[in-house]
C-alpha cells in the first residue's frame, strides 16, 4: 500500500545521493531542488471520477488548479499530480483517503519516487528557459495555469510556472545531468548574451 513518507528515500542532491557534491546554479538564475517536498500522483481508470467524488474541481488537461493549498497538475484525462510544497497535511489526508478507498480509483504513478522536482527562478529565469526549451514560455503565451509536457535541457519534462520562475519535473535519474545542463547554459548566456537561443541537441548519455 502506498504510504506518504520520505523516510527511506535518498534524493540525488542529499548527502549520499548520486549528485550530492554537485553545486546548483545561483545568482541571476537560481536552481533549487524540491525533490524532497511532498507530492503524489494518481493515474489510470476512474482517477478523475474518484477525485471528483472527493470534491475536487479538476482543471482542464495541461492546466494547473488549486485544492486545499495544493497545486493540482492535470497531465491527462486520468493522470493527476499534486504538488504540496506548503500543504503536507492536506496531501497526507488525501493519500490516506485514497489508500482506504474501495473500488476503482486509479493507481499511484509514483511521482514522488520517480521524478525530480526542480525550481528555476530569478530575474533571468525566462531568458535561460528560452535556451533550454523550444516552447515559447513567455508569460503572454504560457500563463500561470498552464502546463507544458515538453523537453527541457534535452530531457522529457513537465514544466509549470511558479511565480516568476518555473517548476520542472523529470526522471529523477537525470537530476545531475539537468543541473549541469542548466549551469552550462547559464555560462553560455552570460558570455554570449546577444546570440540566438542556444539549445543542445545532445541528450543525456545512458
pLDDT in tens, 126-175: 999 999 999 999 999 999 999 999 999 999 999 999 988 999 999 999 99
Which grid coordinates are listed for 150? 515538453
Q: Which residues contact 44 (CB under 8 A, 6 or more apart)?
A: 78, 106, 107
Chain centre to alpha carbon of residue 88: 16
**What are the tens digits of pLDDT across the range 69-100?**
999 999 999 999 999 999 999 999 999 999 99
- The region, left, alpha or beta by phi > 0 then psi within -120 to 50, assigned to residue 68 is left
Question: Rounded to an integer, what distance in angstroms lies between the CA atom of residue 60 and that of residue 77?
Answer: 8
Residue 2 has pLDDT above 80, yes or no: no
Over range 105-110, report the average pLDDT: 94
Indicate yes or no: pTM above 0.75.
yes
DSSP secondary structure, 36-49, as one string = TS-EEEEESTTHHH
Per the prediction, the chain carries an average pLDDT of 89
Give 29's DSSP letter: S
Over range 51-60, report the average pLDDT: 96
Confidence band for 198, pLDDT divided at 50, 70 and 90 = very low
Confidence band for 194, pLDDT divided at 50, 70 and 90 = low
List of domains in the chain: 30-191 (3.30.1360.120)
pLDDT at 202: 42
Amino acid at each position: 500500500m502506498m504510504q506518504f513518507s520520505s523516510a527511506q528515500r535518498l534524493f540525488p542532491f542529499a548527502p549520499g545521493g548520486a549528485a550530492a557534491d554537485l553545486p546548483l546554479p545561483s545568482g541571476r538564475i537560481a536552481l533549487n531542488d524540491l525533490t524532497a517536498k511532498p507530492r503524489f500522483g494518481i493515474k489510470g481508470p476512474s482517477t478523475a471520477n474518484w477525485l471528483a467524488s472527493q470534491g475536487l474541481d479538476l482543471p482542464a488537461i495541461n492546466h494547473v488548479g488549486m485544492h486545499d493549498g495544493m497545486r493540482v497538475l492535470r497531465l491527462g484525462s486520468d493522470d493527476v499530480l499534486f504538488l504540496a510544497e506548503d500543504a503536507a497535511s492536506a496531501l497526507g489526508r488525501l493519500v490516506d483517503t485514497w489508500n482506504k478507498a474501495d473500488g476503482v480509483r486509479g493507481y499511484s504513478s509514483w511521482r514522488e519516487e520517480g521524478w525530480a522536482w526542480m525550481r528555476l527562478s530569478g530575474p533571468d529565469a525566462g531568458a535561460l528557459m528560452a535556451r533550454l526549451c523550444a516552447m515559447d514560455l513567455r508569460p503572454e503565451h504560457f500563463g500561470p495555469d498552464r502546463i507544458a509536457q515538453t523537453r527541457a535541457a534535452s530531457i522529457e519534462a513537465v514544466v509549470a510556472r511558479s511565480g516568476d520562475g518555473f517548476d520542472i519535473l523529470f526522471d529523477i535519474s537525470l537530476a545531475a545531468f539537468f543541473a549541469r545542463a542548466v549551469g552550462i547554459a547559464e555560462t553560455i548566456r552570460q558570455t554570449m548574451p546577444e546570440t540566438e537561443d542556444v539549445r543542445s541537441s545532445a541528450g543525456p548519455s545512458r
